[in-house]
Amino acid sequence: MRDIEITEPVEITLNGELVTAQNGELLIDACERNGSYIPRFCYHSRLTPVGMCRMCLVEVDTGRGPALQPSCMIPVSDGMGVDTESDGVAKAQDGVLEFLLANHPLDCPVCDKGGECPLQDQAYAYGPGESRFVEEKRHNEKPIPISELVLLDRERCILCDRCTRFADEVAGDPLIHFIHRGSHTEVNTFPGEPFASYFSGNTVQICPVGALTASPYRFKARPWDLEETESTCTRCSVGCRVVVESSRNKVLRLQGVDSDPVNWSWLCDKGRFGFQAGNSGNRLSRPLQRCESGELSEVGWNTALDSAASVISAAIAGRGPQSVAVLGGARLTNESAYSWAKLAKDVIGTDNVDCQLGDGLPAELVLGLPGASIDEVCEPGATVLYLGPDAKEELPILYLRLRHAADFDGVKIVEVGPTLTGLSPYAAESVTAVPGETPSVLAALLDGTSEHVEASALLRNASDLKVVIGRANLAEDEAITVQTADLIRESVPGATFLPALRRANVRGALEAGLAPGFLPGGATLAGTLPTGWQSMPAERGGGAAEILEDAANGRVDVLILLGSDPLRDFPDRSLARRALAGAKTVISIDPFVNASAEQADLVLAASMFSESAGTTTSLEGRVTALNQLVTPPGTARDDWMIAVDLADRLGADLGVETSADDLAEEMAGFSDAHVVLGDGAPVGDGVMLDISGRDLLTSAEVEVPPANAYSLRLVLNRTMYDKGTLLEESESSAGLAGESVVKLSAADAAPLGVDGSTQVKVTSEHGSVTVAATIDSRVPKGVAVMHHALGDVDAGTLLVHGDPVCDVRVEVS
Amino acid sequence: MSDTAVDTQESTQEVPKVVSSRFDVDDGHTLHGYTQSGSFEGYAALRRALTMTPGAVSELVKDATLLGRGGAGFPAGVKWGFCAPDVWPRYVVANGDESEPGTYKDRLLMERDPHQLIEGSLIAAYAIGAAQVFLYVRGEMPHAQERIAAALNEAYEANFIGKNILGTDFSVDIVLTFGAGAYIVGEETALIESLEGNRGMPRLKPPFFPAAKGLYMMPTIVNNIETLSNLPWLLSHGVREYRSIGTEASPGTRLIALSGDVERPGVYEVPQGTTTFRELFESERYGGGIRGGRELKMFIPGGASAPWFFPEQVDLPLEGRVVGAEGSMLGSGAVVVMDDTTDAVRACWRLVRFFARESCGKCTPCREGTVWEERILRRILDGQGRPSDLDLLLDVADNISPGPYPLAAHPEAGLEAVPFPPRQTTICPLGPSSVAPITSAISRFRHEFEGKINRKDSIPVTSAGVTSV
Ligand SMILES: Cc1cc2nc3c(=O)[nH]c(=O)nc-3n(C[C@H](O)[C@H](O)[C@H](O)COP(=O)(O)O)c2cc1C
Ligand code: SF4
Ligand code: SF4
Ligand code: SF4
Ligand code: FES
């Protein structure tokens, strides 16, 4: 049950005693809050009540005498009388339980739900011990797969409608349904249409029996053997709260926690099943060093750290501290990110540090814009200008929250972007802007000269505009996003912003100072020396693109990849390649030997999610706990430990006595949110940073070349499942990445002779790839869409960092 | 009204035909037939209604006490008044899903006098301010569907339906929809779900009373075919004449679908409350006596969902209130007569099987309980009953419909009548309906069940384990 604030108290009589409840709340909740838990199966506080299972029947008296009513359907009103314990109620509930058990198989000993099953618990607590049902039970084929990840055992199903309601009203993927009728009713998919939903795992979590199971957990453990801890999902920046469960030092399951400001108990499948990467056999358990033969081979930590320290010292002594560069850090905990910021900027003295890979938002925007929380964006009645990437693909639970806001809370979403997205069906208005033209399209919308009258009116009439801002197109210069933000702030001074960041802890890493020109807490190099620091970089360094450019030109002696893989993630793929080749020494700190690490001279084995404790900061600026439950493989260790050891070898002390808490304590010096963390990990919904914004904002004016009639503008974006390392290393998602394609509008496809899946050649000024073309109704005319990191086709070779947009020609090959 | 009054009426008065006046007219289903024959002039009532304010039409219907003929007998005018005020659009739904076993009177109304239904629907739409009417016809009634479709075309052509009807600013469309073979879709909220394209499963009342939140969550009036078919006569002849038929509490007539062991089964229009079941069974005008001169064993006074009546109840009038107080209901107007050759256990099983098969499956007690009841009965019939099965059966039934179930009085056994309606642990009354045959049959014919349980009177089990039906 969710906590609520009682704003409209009414008195009801519950089992003879006067108690207070919130007017209009459901009786089942009011009774629970007042100490009478009513058994239930179909009711779920995040789903529309349906009153189907009848388990929650109680006697309700509204003046006409007591009558059996489902308490999950009855809103509380003043003076209501409720009896949850009468003989009649007990008989009705026992009756329902008996009915549910009549056809239920005696599977408990082999059922994954056994031990945490409400049906089993109820039957055990109140059941008669012997069945009066002597007939043969209903039979169905034992579990049938309804999707890649979820299996359904119809014999165990009690037809509570939770999974089906979830699929329909929460996920918006109504692909599972009741079929047949009466006692033949069953949940199933439509023929030939699997339950292909990014959110399918939630149905397993909310199924009150063992009817739905997810393949990653089936037959892996019994609930009573599990150890658990609360934590935060780190597969994207939404920051969903989770319970992590393990057995024998292995994470086996993640469950969503009902965090009211964040994920409402839901998780996306990427987040829910992504823990599998941690259990992958390809995990790095010891440091690797490139040996004489050119192979990467295992070495001890002392050797590895010594050689890392010596190349760094040599670089500092040689061309100076700026010849060392640190790329990445957005996947680290706040504490590790801080330790690395301090190592880089204080100990080494370089400002060539960037936690993002040219695919995010400039630090000035994230740290500077006046912020809006997820709840503020989804506030009933709000108007939201959505300028981010496809939320369904990249920020799945933010998508669910926005979808709910639009469907149930009257939130008007005006989406402006290069294509239609997963959110478009729920947006009040979707306006497409060809890459490069967002600022001009938006300017017209905001000043009322746009032909999109409704969208314009919505934006212009919004009293309190919320903006979700991000990169919908990696082939478009980030300066255009800066220009867009500037334009909005100019036209709508009170607008607040939610940055649609990608990696889990970009915000925390930026707050920790992992960006050029910045110190912890959003301070700049112009500011004072942070407490506990000895020095700071003498000159401002460069961001990811400049670092790679420098590396390519032989100006980087040590390139440290801090949990980053530029070869896969930096949009300008050829620059990334040249940089890795051009850097004198490449040190990768990662749980895996990713594509970039394969080219490194030294790979330091890092711990992962649930192997290290600390905190993380979500896109809205919420600091929540990451707790440790299992140990990392071999001698792999936390990133902050590596930083401390390196600092030590470089003759400095990062100030850590015992644990990452010492770092947290130091961070408290520059951030209110971290004060709490000083005395241990924050519990519950975490703590919000001050997101009121900082005076850091710059403006930009980008000259976008006019589109020419022979070419299309490239949109490069992401899908939920791609060939990223963590997805590939998770058993359940490994096969889910789609094939590389270029998606065209029907209008552009026709003259090219493209239909179905024609092979085409996509050529830009800088490169060319051959790929299958498909027609997609979400793509507007004049635009070609390719996805990041799918298959072997490397769309990143088509673009060059710094070009405002990327024009391509598409020809049938 | 006293028994003598009933007699007088039977002997002296011609029973007025309010809704069935064109049943025997060859072209009664055409526009020509509708305007040229019958007990009132076709579409004159609509013309008359259009000269009145919608409110006045509603008032008139309320004054007439036009009781709903779909089952519950709720006054139509009162129901219309429940439309959530100032909420638009509103809808009228004509419930032609008639599927209650034994009920076949709406079918005749739809097949033989579709214009009467259309005119009635238009009047209702005008009264409540609906711009759209949905005519929902049972899937298995192709003849009715065709006749209504043809009539709708004629009526559109004649501008009785459509834009600016008969030159007024009243516009309405009638949409014809067909069911897909589920009894439960006759229940009004399930019907609304079905109309919306969803599975035909009832909604919970509260909060979803159709007049407040119905089709697409808008105010919706669902009326039975016969209820709506009364309106043209009512508006043509007026309230006084309407109320002169039947009784004060239940004016007008009812179509009774009489079936079972009578000489002349069929649909008869009888005045409400002034006709007794005995008259219905025995008079030459109606049933013509129990078939073959046999003895009446029991009868169902209002469709398969109604608890049974027995010879003690034959002198009760066909009036909803009276029948309800005596432990059953007039329901859908289906009267099923069973003579002394009827096997009570088998009849009970046959009825329960219907509900088990027709349960929509939405709520647990009905989905699981009705099948369980059916299987216990089946076992008893197959000679595999156990002495404990009757208590089990009654307890399973009690978990669907808790407490004393409506029952006819049995003075000899010292049983008093338990009035209608039953209580329910279910969402809709279908589950509890399955209990009617069980409690009715066991209360009177426990010895027949016991006989089968003791294998004295059992039906042999076939090789398949189940006897053919
Ligand atoms: C299981 C069930 C089946 C029903 N079937 C029908 C039906 O076939 N036709 C009908 O008019 N009403 C049927 N009803 C009653 C309707 O729900 C509704 O009360 C009726 O259509 C209202 O019309 P009236 O007020 O004109 O009687 C059924 C009710 C239940 C519970
Ligand atoms: S599969 Fe589970 S969640 Fe879905 S209806 Fe059945 S019992 Fe409920
Ligand atoms: S939305 Fe993001 S944070 Fe939430 S479960 Fe998915 S990957 Fe994890
Ligand atoms: S009582 Fe039966 S028919 Fe009615 S809603 Fe429940 S399952 Fe469906
Ligand atoms: S919990 Fe209320 S009916 Fe299922």
Residue pointed to by tokens 């008639």:
B98
List chain A residues with pLDDT less than 70: 673, 675-683
Query: How many CA atoms lie less than 13 Å away from B420 in the CB half-sphere?
Result: 29
How do the domains of chain A map onto residue ranges?
Answer: 9-99, 288-360+506-681, 368-500, 712-812
Query: Does the CB atom of residue A626 touch ligand 3 within 6 A?
Result: no
Picking from B356, B379, B425, the nearest residue to A182 by CB comes out as B356
A668-709, pLDDT tens digit by residue?
888 776 755 544 455 689 989 999 999 998 888 899 998 887
Per residue of chain B (469 residues), what is the pLDDT tens digit?
A: 333 333 334 444 577 899 999 999 999 999 999 999 999 999 999 999 999 999 999 999 999 999 999 999 999 999 999 999 999 999 999 999 999 999 999 999 999 999 999 999 999 999 999 999 999 999 999 999 999 999 999 999 999 999 999 999 999 999 999 999 999 999 999 999 999 999 999 999 888 899 999 999 999 999 999 999 999 999 999 999 999 999 999 999 999 999 999 999 999 999 999 999 999 999 999 999 999 999 999 999 999 999 999 999 999 999 999 999 999 999 999 999 999 999 999 999 999 999 999 999 999 999 999 999 999 999 999 999 999 999 999 999 999 999 999 999 999 999 999 999 999 999 999 999 999 999 999 999 999 999 999 975 445 444 444 444 3
- The per-residue DSSP string of A110-122 comes to G-TTTTS-HHHHH
- Asked if the Cβ–Cβ distance from A54 to B425 is below 8 Å, we say yes
Determine the Cα–Cα distance for residues B366 and B384; give it in Å rounded to an integer: 24
Picking from B357, B365, B392, the nearest residue to A54 by CB comes out as B365
Q: In angstroms, what separates the C-alpha of A103 from chain B's closest C-alpha? A: 8
A507 burial level (CB within 10 Å; 0-12, 13-18, 19+): buried
Which residues have CB under 8 Å from B425's CB, separation 6+? A54, A57, A68, A92, A95, A96, B365, B399, B400, B401, B402, B431
- Asked if the Cβ–Cβ distance from B363 to A53 is below 8 Å, we say yes
- Asked if the Cβ–Cβ distance from B425 to A57 is below 8 Å, we say yes
Residue pointed to by tokens 């711990």:
A607
Instruction: Using an 8 Å CB-CB cutoff, list chain B residues near A51.
Output: 204, 363, 427
- Cis amide bond preceding B207, omega within 30: yes
Contact A603, A652 (CB under 8 A): no
Contact B407, B439 (CB under 8 A): yes
Instruction: Using an 8 Å CB-CB cutoff, list chain B residues near A96.
Output: 364-365, 399, 425
Picking from B359, B362, B399, the nearest residue to A52 by CB comes out as B362
Contact B98, B111 (CB under 8 A): no
Residues of chain A whose beta carbon is less than 8 angstroms from a beta carbon of chain B are 50-55, 57, 67-68, 70, 73-74, 88, 91-92, 94-96, 98-100, 102-103, 132-133, 135, 158-159, 178, 180-185
- Cis amide bond preceding A75, omega within 30: no
pLDDT at A756: 72
Residue nearest to atom 8 of ligand 2 (CA): A160
Which residues have CB under 8 Å from A291's CB, separation 6+? A297
Instruction: Using an 8 Å CB-CB cutoff, list chain A residues near B358.
Output: 181-182
Instruction: Using an 8 Å CB-CB cutoff, list chain B residues near A39.
Output: none
Of ligand 5's atoms, which has the minimum distance to the CA of residue A53?
4
Q: What's the B410 CA to ligand 2 centre distance in angstroms? A: 46
Determine the Cα–Cα distance for residues B226 and B116; give it in Å rounded to an integer: 10
Instruction: Using an 8 Å CB-CB cutoff, list chain B residues near A407.
Output: none
The two tokens of residue A362 are: 């400039």
Sheet with A241-247, strands from edge to edge, namely A227-232, A241-247, A250-256
- Asked if the Cβ–Cβ distance from B361 to A51 is below 8 Å, we say no
Contact A477, A702 (CB under 8 A): yes
> Into which CATH architecture does domain B17-236 fall?
3-Layer(aba) Sandwich (3.40)
pLDDT at A408: 96
- Cα separations (Å) of A39 from A119, B44, B362? 10, 59, 18
Which residues have CB under 8 Å from A5's CB, separation 6+? none
The separation between CA A355 and the C-alpha centre of its own chain, rounded to angstroms, equals: 17
> Hey, which residues does A810 pair with through a beta bridge?
A762
Q: In angstroms, what separates the C-alpha of A425 from chain B's closest C-alpha? A: 20
User: Does domain B245-339 fall into CATH 3.10.20.600?
Assistant: yes
- Asked if the Cβ–Cβ distance from A51 to B207 is below 8 Å, we say no
- Asked if the Cβ–Cβ distance from B361 to A92 is below 8 Å, we say no
Residue B386 DSSP class: -
How do the domains of chain B map onto residue ranges?
Answer: 17-236, 245-339, 344-453
Q: How many contiguous H segments (helices) and E segments (strands) does chain B have?
A: 18, 8
- Nearest Cα residue to A53 out of A200, A158, A127: A158
Q: What's the B193 CA to ligand 2 centre distance in angstroms? A: 21
What ipTM score was computed for the predicted complex, to two decimals?
Answer: 0.93
Q: What's the B110 CA to ligand 1 centre distance in angstroms? A: 16
CATH of A288-360+506-681, one of 3.40.50.740, 1.10.760.10, 3.40.640.10, 3.40.1160.10: 3.40.50.740
What ligand has the least distance to the C-alpha of A51?
Answer: 5
Of ligand 4's atoms, which has the minimum distance to the CA of residue B361?
7
Of ligand 3's atoms, which has the minimum distance to the CA of residue A398?
1
Q: What's the B28 CA to ligand 5 centre distance in angstroms? A: 50
What's the longest Cα–Cα distance across chain A? 91
- Asked if the Cβ–Cβ distance from B398 to A95 is below 8 Å, we say yes
Q: In angstroms, what separates the C-alpha of A379 from chain B's closest C-alpha? A: 24
pLDDT at A675: 57
pLDDT at A520: 94
The two tokens of residue A780 are: 């507007």
**Sign of the torsion formed by the C-alpha atoms of A399, A404, A405 and A410:** positive
Report the topology of domain B344-453: de novo design (two linked rop proteins) (1.20.1440)
Instruction: Using an 8 Å CB-CB cutoff, list chain A residues near B361.
Output: 159, 178, 180-185
Determine the Cα–Cα distance for residues A760 and A2; give it in Å rounded to an integer: 53
Q: In angstroms, what separates the C-alpha of B194 from chain A's closest C-alpha? A: 14
Determine the Cα–Cα distance for residues A633 and A737; give it in Å rounded to an integer: 27
- Asked if the Cβ–Cβ distance from A183 to B371 is below 8 Å, we say yes
- Residue B76: CB atoms within 10 Å: 26
pLDDT at B13: 57
Phi, psi of A116 (to 5 degrees): -140, 30
pLDDT at B462: 46
User: Does domain A368-500 fall into CATH 3.30.470.20?
Assistant: no
> Into which CATH architecture does domain A9-99 fall?
Roll (3.10)
User: Does domain A712-812 fall into CATH 3.40.50.150?
Assistant: no
Q: What pTM does this model have?
A: 0.94
Determine the Cα–Cα distance for residues A300 and A645; give it in Å rounded to an integer: 14
Query: Does the CB atom of residue A56 touch ligand 5 within 6 A?
Result: yes
Query: Does the CB atom of residue B222 touch ligand 1 within 6 A?
Result: yes
> Hey, which residues does A67 pair with through a beta bridge?
A60
Contact B17, B271 (CB under 8 A): no
